[in-house]
Amino acid sequence: MLTNLDFYQDNRQKLMALLPDNSAVIVPSGEEKIRNRDVEFPFRAESDFIYLTGFEEPDSVLVLLKKENVESCLFVRPKDLEQETWQGRRLGVDNAPDYLAINSAYSIDALDDAILPLLENIESVYVSFSQSQDFLGSIHGWIYELKQKVRQGIDAPKKICDLDTCLHEMRVIKSEVEIQFLRKAAAISVQGHLAAMKAVQSSQFEFQVQAALESEYLRAGSPRVAFNSIVASGENACILHYTENRSAIQPNELVLVDSGAEWQGYAGDITTTFPASGRFSEAQAQLYSLVLAAQQAAIEAIKPKVAYDAVHQASVNVLTAGLLELGILHGELETLISEECYKRFFMHGTGHWLGMDVHDVGEYKQNQKWRSLKKGMVVTVEPGLYISAEHDDVDKKWHNIGIRIEDDILVTATGREVLTLGLPRTVAEIETWMSQESK
């Protein structure tokens, strides 16, 4: 049996309580995709589907109905001995109701016929406009079929509504169960980053550091990475989403690792930056300490009722002042900030929502204003500086230094909780830790 069945049932009940009577929700798990020939990409169910079921088989569709009562129906792949011999076990129609605490189950092969009576006399159908585009055509077809039954006294749905408005806002505020999942994902991610730091001094290539990182995730029970790991040495660290991880690591370079483990569908997301040799150069240490100060200022800004953008502004203020002091930027501080001159070297935001998706769902602005932080939100804090050799107007001692420092932060009733504690963060802590691990 799945654990935490009450959690998934509660999610369904809370969602349907937000919707009007005579409404239906349709959430697919997704389909397997071919990588090449007859080899599939590893399958991971859509996050909305996991959030409402805890189930991760492909070719499944959840239908929730709000009529006199709330009912849950699940379409799944039928049991098939030959297919299961080749491809793996299936839950099957008969097992689904008890295993998943669902009212009824049907074969996915019967979807087009079996869903029609479920949608009879439904006023509104809710589906994710951002994640279920492929299903909109099917819904239009089902509505057309039901419209042919008007002489039988059957009404077809009149509205197709965006489920994201309700469901994704639910996902922004994490429950206690979700917070425990996120703590575990964070803890595994920390251990993976420590393994990467330990491995770098005996590694010739970025992929060897990646191997140490991700093998630790697997050892700790994480089924997969939450996103493609970044292991970027030297100038590669100035590429924000570098994922090739194939370059040779030079001893005088910094290595930036941006990676997170997944646990029960929830993501960790950490970035560490450390010297391949175990010791920072003076220039590396100066820039690293500046990014760390910016991150600490941003973390300190996090508490309920603070505008989301205030966290970013806290890091911007520290970074711009530091770049001015180091002679990388020139001018008046207020002007440099207002004209966003820092964006040459810090071109992304300071963080994002974190949850089932590493860049999790939910609005950042409401009524065109930055929303306020609330208890139960989880955000990342990840300021950075990236000075490539292409910045030919900057002293060469700063060239090809890319630094990002990222932690996962839970907003609490009175402030914040750093979920990703346990990593050496200051220059001194990193050098001391790496020197001990190399012995």
Per-residue pLDDT of 181-229, as tens digits, reads: 999 999 999 999 999 999 999 999 999 999 999 999 999 999 999 999 9
pLDDT above 70: percentage of residues in the chain: 99
pLDDT at 62: 98
Catalytic annotation present for 348: yes
Rounded distance, CA 401 to CA 388, Å? 7
Per-residue pLDDT of 111-144, as tens digits, reads: 999 999 999 999 999 999 988 888 888 999 999 9
Please, what are the domains in the chain? 5-171 (3.40.350.10), 173-437 (3.90.230.10)
Please tell me whether residue 406 adopts helix, strand or coil conformation. strand
Catalytic annotation present for 399: no
Average pLDDT score, the chain: 96
pLDDT tier at 282, thresholds 50, 70, 90: very high
Annotated active-site residue in 12, 77, 404, 416: 404
The two tokens of residue 81 are 């001995």
Catalytic annotation present for 406: yes
* Phi and psi at residue 372, to the nearest 5°: -90, 145
Catalytic annotation present for 84: no
Catalytic annotation present for 241: yes
One-letter amino acid of 278: G
Catalytic annotation present for 144: no
Per-residue pLDDT of 237-277, as tens digits, reads: 999 999 999 999 999 999 999 999 999 999 999 999 999 99
The set of residues, in sequence order, having a beta carbon less than 8 Å from that of 338 and lying 6+ positions away, is none
- Counting Cβ atoms within 10 Å, is residue 76 exposed (0-12), middle (13-18) or buried (19+)? buried
pLDDT tier at 437, thresholds 50, 70, 90: confident
Catalytic annotation present for 269: yes
Q: How far is CA 246 from the centre of its chain?
A: 24
pLDDT tier at 107, thresholds 50, 70, 90: very high
Annotated active-site residue in 258, 262, 407, 408: 258
pLDDT at 1: 40
Per-residue pLDDT of 335-372, as tens digits, reads: 999 999 999 999 999 999 999 999 999 999 999 999 99
CB atoms closer than 10 angstroms to residue 252: 12
Annotated active-site residue in 35, 89, 140, 241: 241
Annotated active-site residue in 269, 407, 408, 431: 269
pLDDT at 4: 82
pLDDT at 133: 80
